[in-house]
Copies of this chain bind each other. A is one copy, B any other.
């Protein structure tokens, strides 16, 4: 059986994702679609709107055959580390292809860009350091460095999905990983073709609408499959929330209040004296968004600051992250599978170099205990009994549909 990998967050899964799944299946000729999905917290440094289990179920109902969890230590990271975790995991489970959405839509642009990049790596890294020292944020400095070494003539690396896609391709080619990268062009927001996928809009704008209205408006309902609607409504009915940063603001404020600058400097990605500014701004901050605005400078993107707040919330230290990234990926976490997925797993299992883990346990690998910590922080905003109930999902069998 041939499997194609997707790297996803499904926050929440919408019509654009359905289109991606269907097109990936056709393009790769795969029998089995394997999605590796961020768990409790996402690459932009945000809590997932509904938990990983509810999102897994929707994915399995929407054409995905196996859902893996992208470990926290890779999920809440810049695009290079995010890609590293995703690609190596998908490789371990034996996918022959990966298929990602991009603004470009042309895989040759990515591959030829990589070849230029690999030839000009030293020049690129010098340029990058140079722009970083000038106080630019990492994404902005990268863009300028890409442009300086001529990469952007092949591929528009100012576009977010091209950047992420380039990281996937770079990881594959740099490590000689036997995976065929494929890409499909992302459909613009507000694209409309009822015969295929209904209305398409971005997950960001869907979340914006959901939080603004605190319910599913008819406009939003047209942008997602029925399974997503059901999951969103059920989760809200059960927990009374769709997770967002403001829910965690009291915990974050309390936590920073009781941390010393040294302790805060030990948190992953807190650098260059940012600990002092976080402690100072805490005194003034009246909401999460207010705190972010107080902290925001040219050097730090909104996304990076949110990732830092995620690591503070989950108490993830530099040392913890380093001890993981010094090693290769120790396991694959499987959140759920379909019958097709099960068949694929039956075939691949004996050939895999690392174990498949499905749930938390007493003797779990260190990386999974960091996942557990993230998960506990994620559910901390719920009432104690509900927190316990939802955390118990992490100890149960994978989700099957």
Which A residues are closer than 8 A to B by beta carbons? Answer: 250-251, 253-255, 257-260, 263, 283-287, 313-315, 369, 373, 376-377, 380, 384-385, 388, 391
18 A-B pairs in the complex with CB atoms less than 8 angstroms apart: A250-B251, A251-B254, A253-B384, A254-B377, A254-B380, A257-B377, A258-B314, A258-B315, A258-B376, A258-B377, A259-B315, A260-B369, A260-B373, A283-B391, A284-B388, A286-B384, A286-B385, A287-B384
Shortest distance in angstroms between A4's beta carbon and chain B's nearest beta carbon? Answer: 36
- Contact (A388, B254) CB under 8 Å given A259-B315, A315-B259: no
Shortest distance in angstroms between A27's beta carbon and chain B's nearest beta carbon? Answer: 42
5 pairs of A and B residues whose beta carbons are closest in the complex: A257-B376, A258-B315, A254-B380, A286-B384, A251-B254
By secondary structure, the A interface counts as: helix
Contacts of A257 in B (CB 8 A): 373, 376-377, 380
Contacts of A315 in B (CB 8 A): 258-259, 263
State whether A373 touches B258 (Cβ < 8 A): yes
Interface centre among A251, A313, A384, A391 (most CB of B within 10 A): A384
Which of B253, B286, B287 is close to A380, meaning CB atoms less than 8 Å apart? B253
* Chain B residue at smallest Cβ distance from A370: B260
Tell me the number of copies of this protein: 2
Give the distance in Å from the alpha carbon of A253 to the alpha carbon of B384 in the complex.
9
Contacts of A391 in B (CB 8 A): 283
* Chain B residue at smallest Cβ distance from A263: B315
* Chain B residue at smallest Cβ distance from A372: B257
* Chain B residue at smallest Cβ distance from A312: B258
Give the distance in Å from the alpha carbon of A233 to the alpha carbon of B26 in the complex.
71
* Chain B residue at smallest Cβ distance from A291: B384
Shortest distance in angstroms between A148's beta carbon and chain B's nearest beta carbon? Answer: 42
Shortest distance in angstroms between A279's beta carbon and chain B's nearest beta carbon? Answer: 10
Knowing that A284-B388, A285-B384, A286-B385 touch, tell me 20 more A-B residue pairs with CB under 8 angstroms.
A250-B250, A250-B251, A251-B251, A251-B254, A253-B380, A254-B254, A254-B255, A254-B380, A257-B373, A257-B376, A257-B377, A257-B380, A258-B313, A258-B315, A259-B315, A260-B369, A283-B388, A283-B391, A286-B384, A287-B384
Give the distance in Å from the alpha carbon of A369 to the alpha carbon of B263 in the complex.
14
Give the distance in Å from the alpha carbon of A289 to the alpha carbon of B373 in the complex.
24
Give the distance in Å from the alpha carbon of A70 to the alpha carbon of B124 in the complex.
59
Contacts of A388 in B (CB 8 A): 283-284
Shortest distance in angstroms between A305's beta carbon and chain B's nearest beta carbon? Answer: 18
Give the distance in Å from the alpha carbon of A377 to the alpha carbon of B256 in the complex.
10
Shortest distance in angstroms between A245's beta carbon and chain B's nearest beta carbon? Answer: 15
Shortest distance in angstroms between A256's beta carbon and chain B's nearest beta carbon? Answer: 9
Contacts of A254 in B (CB 8 A): 251, 254-255, 377, 380
Shortest distance in angstroms between A240's beta carbon and chain B's nearest beta carbon? Answer: 15
* Chain B residue at smallest Cβ distance from A258: B315
Give the distance in Å from the alpha carbon of A161 to the alpha carbon of B267 in the complex.
45
